[in-house]
Every structure is written in C-alpha cells, then in structure tokens.
Chains A and B, each alone.
Chain A
Amino acid sequence: MTANPFHLAWFGAGGFGVKSWNKTWSGRGGVDWASPQLWVDVAQALERARFDYIIIEDSSYVPDAYGSNSKAYLSSATATPKMDPTVLAPIMAHLTSRIGIVPTLSVTEYHPYMLARKINTLDHMSQGRTGWNVVTSSSHRAAQNYGKDLLEEHDLRYDIADEFFDVSCRLWESWEPDAVTVDEQNGVWADYEKVHTIDFEGKFFKVRGPLNAPQSPQGRPVFTQAGGSPRGKRFAARTANSVISGVEGGVEAMKRFRDDIREQALAYGRDPNDVKVLFMASPVVGETDEEAQDKRKRQIAFAEAHPEIGLLHLSRHSGIDFAQFPLDEPIPDTATTNGHQQMLAQAIGKTPREFLRKSLSTMEFVGSPDTIAATMDEVMQEVGGDGFLIANFDLNRRYVSEIADGLVPALQRRGLTRTEYTHSHFRDNLLEF
C-alpha cells in the first residue's frame, strides 16, 4: 500500500536576501546575493521536479531582538538583508512556464488596492501562476518602518486580514470575466458596463474601485497561509488554498492539525479538499543512509557550536530577547509575546540549547533518496495528505539538486508526486488531487 499522490512546494526561507554564503557549496552566494539568478535556477529545477509552487518569504525590517541590537543578525546575514519579493517574482515567472510563484505580502503593511493591483499584474504576467502568501507581520519593528508606533495586537491583525481578504477579492472581481471584448471593428476594447465600482466600506478599509486592470487568468490568486494559532487557523480555514504548517509533535500532531483545518473549512462551507495542508520538511539527503546521518550529525554539531544563530530566529519571531536566558535553564512560562504565539509556546519549558536541537522540519527525514521517499510515504499514509513544503535556511544549488534530481525522482517512481502539470493555471494543478 502506498499513500495517495501528494504535493510538493518550496519555502524560500529568509526571502530574497543573502542565502548560503560562506560554506563549502555556497558558490559565490555572498557576492551574487542581489542577482535573481539563484532564484531563477531554483524555480527551474523545481519545475523540472514538478513542484506545485515556491514561496518567497518576506519581512520588512532589520531585526534587533536578540541582544537588543542588530549585530547578530547583520553579522550572520540572518533575516537581513531582504529585498522586495514582488520585484523578483515576475523574473522567476517569466523564466518558467508551469510552477506557481508565491510572493509574501503583509496585510498590515500594504493597502488593499495596491496589493490587489500588484497581484493582479503578476497573475497576468505569469499567465495564471501567481499566489499570495498572506501574512499579518509579527514585529513592532516592521510596523515602525511604516510609521506606526506598535504593531496591532495578534487577533486584531487577523480581523484586519479577514477584511483585507474580502476587499481584495472584490477588487479582483470588479471586472466581469468577459468585460474585455477587443472588438476591433467597432473600436471597443472593454465594455464599461461590465466594470464595476465596489464601494467597499469596512471597519478598516474604504475602497471605491474598480481595479484599474481586467480580471487576471486566475481571477483570485492562490492563497497560502501559515497561521498556527487558533485565530490564524480560523483565517486559514476560511481563505487559504494551501496551509503551510511547522507543527511539532510528529505524525499524530500533523494529522490533528490537518483534520482541524479541514473541519473548520467545512464549517465555512468550503470543500476541505480545496485546502491543501503542506508540512515543513528539510530532508537531509545522502548517497547512502550512513552518509546522510553523518551529514545530519555535522549539522547538529555546528548548531551546538553556534547557539546564537539558532536563537536569532526565535528572538526575531517572538519579539523576546533570548540572549537574556541562560543556555541550559528552562525558558520560563512567564514569557509572553505579541509576535509569533506558536513558536513561543513550543519553546517554553525547554532550555535554549534543547530548543536549538530541534530541526527546522516538523520531523526529520535523513537518508538516501529511497529511504526518505519511503518515510514520506508512511507519514502521508498516516496523516492523510496533502504533501510537504521543503525549506532550507542555508539555500544553495547543490541542496536544490539533491531534492529535485535525487529525492523527487524516487518519489515519482513510487507514484507519490506528480510527473506532469495537468493544467496551465496554478490553482487547478494544486486542487487536481
């Protein structure tokens, strides 16, 4: 018995910034970071491997949460610099033909009209392959770059997101699908009676419309979302086509998470099969299982020798300065945050050092391509679906090739992942199975 076919996607962790730059296989990553070429190469490799989509992660501030200054982040090029993903996305789309391209944009940083217009433009340019990774932001530092004193409180951000989503959809549909007539004989390009103001007046936004460009091939983009908190999950169940999850606790927790999302989607009147839950994974691939295990040991040894690198991420996401906690004492449950709730919950009770040992993935996949493919098969059989979101914080071409040219063919031989794109639009492929 094998699992039903599942989906693969890629998480461009750390966004459009410095990726691997001073390791053995970094290439010229430190110098060439501002070129789009690495991302184009990644997108083309993943398209070869028939990935559904690639997310370009984003945030818009120089972090200073760890040690209360920006030193650790800038020194290690962690989470900064980061350039604008909406500038990169069209280049990746233009040099691929089937894979979905998903930039990250925040509802607390954008105005809905500008965001709807950007996404509409990208969906036209990519001929129906654009997604929007919906985030609410989780740092006061980002809010302060946009002229606010503090970021809105956690649940309120999702109320904003709900309204933002609604107004954006209205804008994307403000031109009826057949509004563009291109009647060359009579000199009529568009039928103005099929282009409507939306006159939206909500609690947070007021938008007249219509959008100043016609409906794009997909109409609405594909929505991806990563909400892990109860409020975040509710938003995801209502809006997302794909939920990405880093839930801890192994297969049972993964199954619970997916069942919960599906149940809530059903309660919103949606078909649960229209919400694909993908789980974060960072497979460690070797020629043999032993080689892969040695590689994993070296990764762990490196992380333990450089504890601050791992803690930088937790500090940035939680807004709590983890430099203040002794490395080997449990993090007290008195710690609170207005940032990333789920991540803090996972850290409390553990010592910082223990927390570091946890891999980026929800579970470890270490071995030869065949070993990992077999493990992924088992996991998907137990969880029920819908696939994996591959991520690697030290992104280089060699790692991408291990996945795209090593692991994926092993999955395809087992009939577990797609070997062709059936449709031309991203959403149709994602919802195909």
Chain B
Amino acid sequence: MGFIATGSTSFYSPFILARVMATMDHLTAGRVGWNIVTSSEDVAAQNYGMEALPPHDERYDRAEEFVQVVKALWDSWEPGAIVMNRETGHYADHTKVHRIDYRGKYHASRGPLNMPAGPQGHPVLCQAGGSPKGRDFAAKHANAIVATNPNVEKMAAYRADIRERAARHGRNPDDVKVLFHAAPIIAETTQEAQAAYHRIFGMDDPLQIEQTLAMTAAVTEIDFFRYDLDAPMPQDLKTNGHQSVLDDFMKRNEGKTLRESLGERLRLGPLLVGTVSEVADQMEDIVARTGGDGFLIRAETGLSHTRRYIDEICSGLAPELRRRGLIRSDYPNPLFKDNLLQF
C-alpha cells in the first residue's frame, strides 16, 4: 500500500521536504507520495512570520519553483552512484553526485541532496488543484489528482480538462489518475442507509451546524457564524483562501438557505447511499460515465475516522467491487507508482 503525506510549498524549505520524502521512500521501500499543497489560510502564514499568504496565483508560481528544486535534488545522485566496493573501501562515486545550483525567483539551493533518492526516484506526486492555475499545475506534475465534484457531469468535465492539460504539457494523460472524493454511507438495508444519511447531513443538530460552520470557515476564511442560517446563501463573498471552493459553494447553493447549503457542503462528493450492492452500482455508474480513474474515500464529519467505518468500506464495499472486477485484487509491483499507473 502507498502512503501519501501532505507538505506545504508555502512553509517548508524545499531541501527539508526533498530529504524527508526521500527518507520515507527508503523506509517504505518505495511506497511514499507527496500531497502538494500551497496552503490557503493567512493564519497559517502568520505562524511562519508572514502577514498573509502570497496571492493565489503567486502561490502556484512559488509551488512551481519549489517542485523544480525538489525534483532536481531527487535527481542529484545518478543511478549507479553507489558502487560499494568492499575491498577498496570505495562507497560512492563522487563524479555521479551533482550540485543543482538552482536559483529562482523564490527558491534557491546548491545541492546535492545529502542522500540518494529512494527506490521510486520521485515519490508519487498528488495534488488537488481546482482553480485554472491549480489544475494546470496538477496536470503538469501530479501522478494522482484528488478532486471534489458533487455530480457526474462536473466529474467528467474535470477529468477531461485535466487530461487535456496533461497532454498539453507533453504527458501521457493515462499517467495522471483523477480520483474523486467519495463518502459512501453503507448500511444493511436501504432504509437504514437513508436514516444514517439524514443523521449526518440533516443539519438538525446545533453541534453539527457549529462543526460544519467551523470547518467551512477554516477552508474559506469566511466567518459564516455572522450569517442567518435560514436566509438565502450570500453570493458575493471573496477570500484569499480557497476561492474555488468558496465560488463553488456559493454557486451550487444559489437560492438555498445557508442551513440547506451546509448539508450540501458536508457532502463533498457524489451521493452514495445504500446497501453494499447499491453503492457499488452507483460507483460503477460514475466510473462508466466519467471514464475513470477511481475514488478517494474520505469519511466526512459525522462519519469520522472510526474503525467501524473503515471496516464497512474494507470488508463490505471493497469485496463487492472486487467481485465485479472493478478494483485490484493484488499489488503486482513493489513500487507504489508502478501500481498506481498499472491501469
């Protein structure tokens, strides 16, 4: 199994990030990935001595340089640099270990990395760009893109757009897997599943409302506590945070009340509710209509990361998908990236 850790291009130094990822790639024998984020909250920036984050598009310009430095550091030891001659005591060949001498607008590093890259060379790169600039960055670098779309039409359009952008960057679109957020609600019977759905997304419980407002505020940097829950959703909000998330949230809920919108907000992905077999049908349909590439299961607030939920997915849903031949039944390759790009 692969493990993907999130690291921000706004707060890390490229050298530390390259080194941490390479170390983890060694320790996992080639099963690590980096979820590239640019960060979206000014309060986070203030922990790192900045007044505010750079504007949205500049964050991606910085991220672009950051990724260039990191990749160059991973490539700074040529394959075969380690010769390990026991008799002569010659361990590594210094002519195969190179400085990178990177000097950009935002980042600089001399190099080389003080260790060879791990078994994958470059770990799996994962990204979640939603804005045009973010999508372009993701299409250029990522092996896996995670996307949040509430319905099949948007999912299909998003994937087609990413693949087109990847091709424009000279990449094989099949090397970029688009995985859609999904939070299936699974129960023994259809009725039980629908009852669970209402408990989670009904917005009857004040505590649930508060949690949802807090979570929404954390991502958008908009304090929704100021607005009337049963008045129409505001349509003119601006943020230096996740603007694409905020725009989507407003547009999607035009005409609805904030309370109704919050239910929608909690449900990040498509509606997947029912028995194991019903949910498998719904997922099969989505993949057939979007063209690929899979799902990123994410237990939302209310479901939360309980062992019970994970078991519903792993022991209930996954075996059904496997019986239908829709998901892998084994890992043919030792490296995470090779398995990801296998189909």
B-binding residues in A (CB < 8 A): 16-18, 21-22, 30-31, 34-36, 59-62, 69-71, 73-77, 80-84, 86-88, 91, 109-111, 113-114, 141, 144-147, 187, 205-209, 212
Contacts and interface: CB of A to CB of B under 8 A. Distances in A.
Given A61-B114, A110-B16, A74 B94 contact: yes
Given A62-B114, A83-B115, A207 B47 contact: yes
Nearest to A87: B23
Contacts of B89: 22, 75-76
A120 to B, nearest CB: 13
B84 interface: yes
Contact of B86 (A17, A30, A34, A88): A30
24 contacts: A18-B91, A21-B84, A21-B91, A34-B27, A60-B114, A62-B97, A62-B113, A62-B114, A69-B94, A74-B81, A74-B91, A74-B94, A75-B89, A75-B94, A76-B91, A81-B116, A86-B20, A88-B23, A109-B13, A114-B11, A145-B109, A145-B114, A187-B207, A208-B43
A31 B84 contact: yes
A286 to B, nearest CB: 25
A82 B109 contact: no
Contacts of B118: 34
A147 B108 contact: yes
Q: Give the interface SS of chain A, mostly helix, strand, loop or mixed.
A: loop
B195 interface: no
A206 B43 CA distance: 13
B225 interface: no
Contact of B11 (A18, A77, A111): A111
A30 B110 CA distance: 27
Contacts of A88: 23, 27
Contacts of B49: 111, 205-207
Contacts of A205: 49
Contacts of B159: none
B173 interface: no
Contacts of B12: 114
Interface of B: 11-13, 15-16, 19-20, 22-24, 26-27, 43, 46-49, 81, 84, 86-87, 89-94, 97, 107-116, 118, 207
A77 B88 CA distance: 13
Contacts of A84: 16, 19-20, 23
Contact of B114 (A34, A75, A80): A80
Nearest to B210: A187
Contacts of A208: 43, 46-47
A62 B108 CA distance: 17
A32 to B, nearest CB: 11
Contacts of B109: 144-147
A82 B47 contact: no
Contact of A147 (B97, B107, B113, B114): B107
B68 to A, nearest CB: 13
A65 to B, nearest CB: 13
A69 B96 CA distance: 12
Contacts of A73: 94
B106 to A, nearest CB: 9
B206 to A, nearest CB: 10
> Would you list the 3 A-B pairs with minimal beta carbon distance, nearest first?
A208-B46, A144-B110, A77-B91
Nearest to A17: B115
A87 B110 CA distance: 23
Nearest to A60: B114
A147 B91 contact: no
A17 B22 CA distance: 13
B27 A77 contact: no
Contacts of A35: 26-27
A86 B113 CA distance: 16
Contacts of A34: 26-27, 118
A17 B113 CA distance: 13
A209 B47 contact: yes
A81 B15 contact: no
A29 B114 CA distance: 18
A75 B108 contact: no
A296 to B, nearest CB: 21
Given A22-B86, A84-B19, A87-B20, A77 B92 contact: yes
Contacts of B84: 21, 30-31
A62 to B, nearest CB: 5
B305 to A, nearest CB: 14
A82 B114 contact: yes
A61 B46 CA distance: 29
Contact of B93 (A74, A145, A187): A74
Contacts of A22: 86-87, 89
Contacts of A81: 92, 114-116
B27 A87 contact: yes
A145 B94 contact: no
A31 B46 CA distance: 44
Residue of A70, A73, A74, A110 most packed against chain B (CB within 10 A): A74
Which of B81, B111, B112, B114 gathers most chain A CB within 10 Å? Answer: B114
Contacts of A18: 91
A36 B27 contact: yes
Contacts of B92: 74-75, 77, 80-81
Given A145-B109, A147-B109, A60 B15 contact: yes
A146 B15 contact: yes
Nearest to A81: B115
A75 B91 contact: yes
A34 B92 CA distance: 14
Given A75-B93, A81-B115, 12 more contacts: A17-B115, A30-B84, A31-B84, A35-B26, A70-B94, A81-B114, A87-B27, A88-B23, A147-B109, A207-B46, A207-B48, A212-B47
Nearest to B73: A145
B334 to A, nearest CB: 15
A349 B108 CA distance: 39
